[in-house]
Structure 1
């Protein structure tokens, strides 16, 4: 019985970013995963597709007015059944402020956790550059 196996797990890292900070976080996460032997696919949420060979998912969104962005929410809602079958980690990028208030989760996070049975949700403080 020789079932196909792969020695390195595959993870899809997907995000939605308005000004680039959430994308930068996604690339940093992918870099750390790769350092640990994980095969990573990076994709914006509006272009992402789930491959049955993916072993897990990292999904992030910028937060504006207390909400995840629409493409990230749509990705989670559209693929919820497949996401529930494998490990998922979520992250939110934002809020901003002086000082930043990263302890306040976005309004949508409870729904995103429910749709994915996420292992963890992490909040990164925002980095909004007015010139962008």
Structure 2
């Protein structure tokens, strides 16, 4: 089974998740390519798709959205999984006790659920390196509220990413070897 992992990443954390998903899928016997999302990416050669993006202000980045919209009919006929990254910090809940992963589901999840019937949708914690921020994000982070909303660190849960990749691998049609990265 040939799988395309498509991602949108502003600072590299989501790209890292996409690469890790691909690594696990390969270790389980699948042929996998990883590409940054855009309308120019060709979906035709692939049997299945894992599509994700960093989420900002409740929405995916432009590239993965353009990819999906260009290929929506093809994607609707093939196995698809969607993921997002974005929440930062070590707490699974906000100050009011709400689940951060559930609260930060991008608007595209709801929009694409009916159109694509994805086999799975996940939100993962992200990472933030203040030295890589663009000027405006650096300015926001200088504010006390900005530092609280944008804490520095790598909060990605690699065990959760690996487990989800193994779920995807097990759900993909075809003969594959059991395996995976620990």
TM-score normalised by structure 2 residue count:
0.64
Distance 2:30 2:4 in 1: 10
Distance 1:127 1:115 in 2: 30
Residue 76, structure 1, aligned to residue 68, structure 2: yes
Give the 3-state SS of the residue equivalent to 2:107 in structure 1: coil
Partner of 2:37: 45
Instruction: Report the Cα offset of residue 73 of structure 1.
Output: 1.1
Distance 2:57 2:91 in 1: 17
Partner of 2:130: 130
User: Residue 27 of structure 1 is aligned with which of 3, 6, 19?
Assistant: 19
Give the 3-state SS of the residue equivalent to 2:11 in structure 1: coil
Distance 1:39 1:125 in 2: 26
- Tell me which protein shows more helix as a share of its residues: 2
Instruction: Report the Cα offset of residue 129 of structure 1.
Output: 1.6
* Structure 1: runs of 5+ lacking an equivalent: 1-8
Partner of 1:16: 8
Distance 2:53 2:115 in 1: 15
Alignment of 1:87-102 (within 5 A): 87-97=79-89, 99=91, 101-102=100-101
* Structure 2: runs of 5+ lacking an equivalent: 93-99, 133-182
Distance 1:111 1:74 in 2: 14
Alignment of 1:51-66 (within 5 A): 51=44, 53-66=45-58
TM-score normalised by structure 1 residue count:
0.86
Q: State the superposition RMSD in angstroms.
A: 1.4
